[in-house]
Each structure stands twice: as C-alpha cells, then as structure tokens.
Amino acid sequence: MIRTFAARILGVLAVAAPVVLALQPAQPAAQEQPVPARRAPTYEQQQEKINAWTVGLAAGLLEGAPLRLATEMARVVDDGANLHVLPIVTRGPVENLNSLLYLRGIDLAIINSDALEEYRIGFPDIRFHVTYLLNLFPSELHIFVRPEIQSLQDLAGKKVNFNTLGTAAAYSGPLIFSRLGINVEKTFIPHPVALQQMRKGDMAAVVFITSKPVDAFLRGQWEPGFKFLPVTYDSKFEDYYQPAVLEAAEYPNLIKPGERISTISVPTVLVAYNWPAGSDRYRRVARFTDTLFTRVDKLQVAGFDPQWKTINLRATVPGLTRFPAAQEWLERQARKPPEKQ
C-alpha cells in the first residue's frame, strides 16, 4: 500500500515538474549585454561630414565651354561623401582667377593662361600662389576679316568685335592686339550680330578665341574674299601663349587645300591655389587630382566633350608650375612597369 502511494506521488511530480519550470522567469545569459541605442549624428557633425571632401570649382559663364568641362569632371570624380565637386557659375574665365584668389570656398578654377597679365603689376608674385593641374585645351585665335582687309595693319582704326564682356575674346583679344601694336575701334557685342554687320560692311573683323572648328565659319556661307588673317608666334607671345594653325580640313570653305594659317592659342587651364602641403585644402585638391587623373579615360568616350580625347596629362603651361600632387601622380605612373600585352 505504501509502495503504491509513493509511486502515485512520483507520477504526479513527473507531470508537474515541466509546468513549474515553464512558469519560472527566464534568466538572462551571463555573456549577453544590452545593445546601446545608436545616437544620430548632430547637425554640426553632419555638416562637417558633407563639407570635408567638397571642392569648389570656379567654371565660367553658363554658355561657355569651361562650365561644360567642369560639369563633366564633377560627374566622373564624384565619390559620394569621399569627393564632391561643385562647378560654380562665374562671370568668366578671367574672373575665375579673382575668385580663386579671394572668394571663400573656391579650391580650383578654369582660367585662360593670360589672365595672369591683369595681376602682373599689382600682384607681381602671383605665380607663386597659383599652380596648374591640367592644360585642358587650346583656344585658337581666329581673326576673321572682310575681303578688303589684307593684313593686320589694315585693321588700324577699323571696327573689330571681341564678343561680349566676360568671354575669352573680350579679354584676350584686346590684349593680343595691344601686343601687336594695332589700335582698333573695339566693340563688344554678340558675335552673331557682328557677323551680320560684317556682311553689310559695317564691321571690319571679328575676333574669336575658342577651340576650333567654330560652327559660324564651318557652316556659314561666305562670299569670296572673307578670310582669316595669319598671326606670327614670336617673342611677344612666349609668356602665356602657344603657336597654332588653322587648316583646310577644319574650314574647307575658307581655307584652300594644303594651306595653313599661322596663329596663336590661349591655353585654357585647370588651376589650384598653392595651398601648403598637408593643409586641409591641399588634401582636398590632391584627392581631386588623383581621382581625375586616374579616371580621365572615362571622359574620353562618347557623351563627353570631344576635347577630352586630346588631353595630355603631361602638357605644361607657360608661366606656371604644376600642382605638387599632380607631379607626384605623373611620377608614380612613370615608375610603373609597362602592362603586358
């Protein structure tokens, strides 16, 4: 009887034990630690993160080629928070140098090489404050004249148009004519208007300073005698300019087959302020330089400006020294063994 009772008690305990254990509160594992809540970055931290690798690039007028090139560079080097380029609309390539020197937030600028001339007297050591990354492309001088004009000297005292203020022609054109010693009646109206005045005989010449070929000359129908005047490259132009030619293949309606018209070009240059090595601004420009040079081949495909296909990373710029990080990149590339075919 006692054995029977004991057996029943043990059976009840066997059934109840799991229920009792299930009702007991669970004990946390000794090794588990509570996960702290992640704190959102403060406004100041987020502001600092966004600005840390943002580069300001003074580009030029809305209708100008430099702004288009700046926008294309910005697309190719974009790397999210690691690199962000802001192309900035300005009053033109001459004003860009002023922006680089004095405007807050500008790290880079696209300028014409002869923009330095404006600062030669008031800022004689400017060459020590500006360095170049790239000789982007040449802007050829086109002096287009009416049939009765046979030489540069024939333009003395005549009406010559240099496009609107802020353009390369409006700055470099009068400067070049001054070096040539030819005093003309300068006008600054849109070139399409000036070309119509030329047809009627109210304008003797127009001066374009831009990359060839120029659509107005390539597609326009001109009476016999309208032509480009040659300009000889000599010691007067060695400081900022480079020799160039206009050829029949570029302007078949205006230049005879096999003929070459001598002229000069104004280098369009990507420059940076000469920040001290190791400074925050220097590091930003150095990262931009490394990324742009490494990815320049991405700019040389369809969809981007054809001028990128002519870019030579090693091309020099008259009167300026190369940005140190750009020189270091070129030297690293020169030390690399040639790729196996």
Q: How far is the C-alpha of 61 from the C-alpha of 55, rounded, in Å?
A: 19
Where would I find the beta strands (DSSP E) of 84-184?
84-89, 108-112, 130-145, 159-161
Confidence of residue 27 (pLDDT cuts 50, 70, 90): low
Mean pLDDT of 243-265: 95
Dihedral angle sign, alpha carbons of residues 118, 120, 123, 128: positive
**Does residue 36 sit within a domain?**
no
Confidence of residue 5 (pLDDT cuts 50, 70, 90): very low
Q: How far is CA 18 from CA 6, 7, 13, 128, in A?
A: 20, 18, 9, 86
Confidence of residue 35 (pLDDT cuts 50, 70, 90): low
**Does residue 5 sit within a domain?**
no
> Domain containing 271: what range?
50-335
The two beta strands, 321-322 and 205-210, are unpaired
CATH number at residue 278: 3.40.190.10
**Does residue 18 sit within a domain?**
no
Residue 264 tokens read as 């000069």
Secondary structure (3-state) at 136: strand
Whether residue 204 contacts residue 160, with contact meaning beta carbons closer than 8 Å, is answered with: yes
pTM above 0.85, yes or no: no
**Does residue 7 sit within a domain?**
no
Mean pLDDT of 31-53: 72
**Does residue 265 sit within a domain?**
yes
Q: How far is the C-alpha of 336 from the C-alpha of 334, rounded, in Å?
A: 6
**Does residue 20 sit within a domain?**
no
Model confidence pLDDT, tens digit, residues 139-189: 999 999 999 999 999 999 999 999 998 888 999 999 999 999 999 999 999
Model confidence pLDDT, tens digit, residues 289-300: 999 999 999 999
Mean pLDDT of 309-319: 90
> What's the domain count of the chain?
1
Question: What does the DSSP assignment read for 243-280?
Answer: EEEEETTT-TTTS-TT-EEEEEEEEEEEEEE-PPTTSH
Residue 86 tokens read as 């802001």
**Does residue 27 sit within a domain?**
no
Model confidence pLDDT, tens digit, residues 207-238: 999 889 998 998 888 999 999 999 999 999 99
Provide the mean pLDDT of the chain: 88
**Does residue 341 sit within a domain?**
no
